[in-house]
Structure 1
C-alpha cells in the first residue's frame, strides 16, 4: 500500500515553504509515501522555493495552468498511480504521529476513505463548531485535507469544478451515495490547516454552495441549517463593517 500526498500551489509564497519543510521531513522516514506537487506556474517566491526541490523517485512536480483549485486537484487525481491520496494545501502541515496511525489503520481495514479531523490554528471555537457539525451530520466528517482517499474512488468521483468552494462536499455526498465506506476517528488529528486559505476568505460563497448541493441531494433540512448560518454570517459582516466605518 502506498500513498501520494498531493499539494496544489499557486502563488502561495512562504505558506508553501512551511508545507514543503513538513512533507520533506515525512518523506525521510516513510518509504510508502510520495509527494505530488501541482503548481499553476507560480510567479511569486513560491516558484523559487519550488525550484529548490529536487524531483526524485518519491517527489513529482507538475507545472500546468489550471482554472482553479479543484481543476488542479483533478489533474493530480488523473496523474497519481498510488493506492491512496491525501490532499495537503499550501500552508497546511501534517501531524506525523496521527498520519502514521491512520496509515496503520488503513493497512488493517482497507477502507475507501479514512477521516481524521483537523485543527485550525488552535482556534477552539472553530474546532467546537466543526465537531458539532460532524456529530449532527450537517457537513463533511472533515475537510478534504484531513481525509485519506482511496484513489480508485477519487477517479470515479472527481471534484465538480463548477463549485469554487464546496466541491469536496459534493464529492463526499457522491461517495456516500455510492456506498463507499468511511472510517472516522477523532484520534487522527491528521492536519493543521491554514485558517487563512481561499475557502476561509469566501465563507459566504461556500455556504451558498452548501445550500445548493444539499438541495441537489435532497437534504432539505441540512440546507435550512446552512441558510441559517449564511444569514448569521451576513449579519455579522454588516455589523462589523458598521463598526469599522465608525
Structure 2
C-alpha cells in the first residue's frame, strides 16, 4: 500500500500567491496526497481560489485563529497521512515529481527526513539554495533546518505539536525537543521547494518581533535545561548577523541614492528583471511570469 503524505498549508489573505502553491501540488505525479488548508478567515479571494482547486484540496477549515502555529496544530490533529509536511501559501514545490522522488526515501525506519529548499528574492528573482547541511550542535545553537523541506511521521507530529505561546520559534522548538528526546533526522541533498524570501527577517532587527525571538529562545533553553553556552552562541550568531545586515543595508542605501541621482535606477531594475536567475518548468510561476496553460 502506498504511503500517504499530508500537506498542511496555513492561509490568510493569500490570494496573490496561493494559486502557484496549489498548482504545484495539483500536478504532482504521486497522487496519494492529502492536502489540508487551515484559513484564518481571509477577506480576499483566498477561499475562491481554494474552491477552484477543490480537486486537490482534501480538507479546508476557515475560522479565526491566534496565528500560524494554532493553524498548523489544527491541521496536524485532522491529518490522516503517514507523513506530514508544511508549505507556505507563497511557496511551491520545485517540480511535479517531488513526492514521487522522495517517497522512496521513506522506506527507512527514520521518523524525520530533511531536504534543502531554494530561496527566491521576490524583487530580483535571484535564487540560492538554503542547505540542510547542519549538525545537531548547529541546531542547539539556534540554527533551523529549512521548514518546507522537512517531512515527519504523523505520529511524531501529533506527539509534539507546536507551542502556540510562541510567535516565531515554535518550529525550532519542535525540532529541538525531538532531537533532545533522541530523535533522528535522515538528510538528503536534493531540493524540494521554492521558498519566497521577501526580506521580512532582514527588516526585523530591534523590532518587537526580533526581541520576542530572543526572549522565546531564552525561555526555551531554560525550560529544556540546556547549557548556557548554547544560548550565548545563539546570541553571538544573532548579533553577528545583525552587523552584517546593517552594513549591507547602508551599502544598498548608498547605491540607490547614487543610481537615483544619475537616473540609472530604472535601467538597473530592467537589467535585473531580464537577467534574473530563477527558471523552472512549472505551469504556473509568478517569478517566470507564467500563469498556467
* TM-score exceeds 0.5: yes
Q: Distance in 2 between matches of 1:201 and 1:167?
A: 20
- Structure 1 stretches of 5 or more lacking a match? none
Alignment match, 2:279: none
For residues 7 and 212 of structure 1, do their structure 2 counterparts lie closer, same or farther at Cα, with a shift above 3 Å needed?
same
Contact 1:19 1:93 in 2 (8 A): yes
CA distance in 2, matches of 1:50, 1:139: 35
CA shift in 2, pair 1:182/1:131, >3 Å = closer
Identify the residue that residue 184 of structure 1 maps to in structure 2.
187
| Bigger mean CA offset, 221-230 vs 231-240 | 231-240
3-state secondary structure, aligned to 1:54: coil
Question: Aligned pairs, how many?
Answer: 239
Aligned pairs (5 A) from 1:195-210: 195-196=197-198, 202=204, 204=210, 205-210=212-217
When the two structures are superposed, what TM-score results if normalisation uses the length of structure 2?
0.70
Residue in 2 that maps onto 1:226: 234
Distance 1:140 1:223 in 2: 12
Extract unaligned runs of 5+ from structure 2: 121-125, 258-293
Report the secondary structure of 2:17's partner residue: helix
Give, in angstroms, the shift of residue 215 of structure 1.
Answer: 4.0
Measure, in 1, the Cα distance between the counterparts of 2:4 and 2:214: 35
Considering only aligned residues, what root-mean-square deviation do their CA atoms show, in Å? 3.0
Q: Based on CA coordinates, which of the two structures has the bigger radius of gyration?
A: 2
**Where do 1:47-62 residues align within 5 Å?**
47-54=47-54, 59-62=58-61
Query: Aligned in 2, Cα 1:237/1:62: closer, same or farther, shift over 3 Å?
Result: same
Tell me, in whole angstroms, the C-alpha distance in 1 between the residues paired with 2:37 and 2:114: 22
Q: Secondary structure at the match of 2:157?
A: helix
Inter-CA distance 208–9: structure 2 relative to 1 (3 Å threshold):
same
TM-score (norm. length: structure 1): 0.82
The 1-side partners of 2:200 and 2:49 are apart by 21
More helix by share: 1
Instruction: State the shift of 1:150 in Å.
Output: 0.6
Alignment of 1:1-246 (within 5 A): 1-26=3-28, 29-54=29-54, 59-96=58-95, 97-106=97-106, 108-121=107-120, 123-124=127-128, 127=130, 131=133, 136-137=138-139, 138-139=141-142, 142-187=145-190, 189-196=191-198, 202=204, 204=210, 205-217=212-224, 218-235=226-243, 240=249
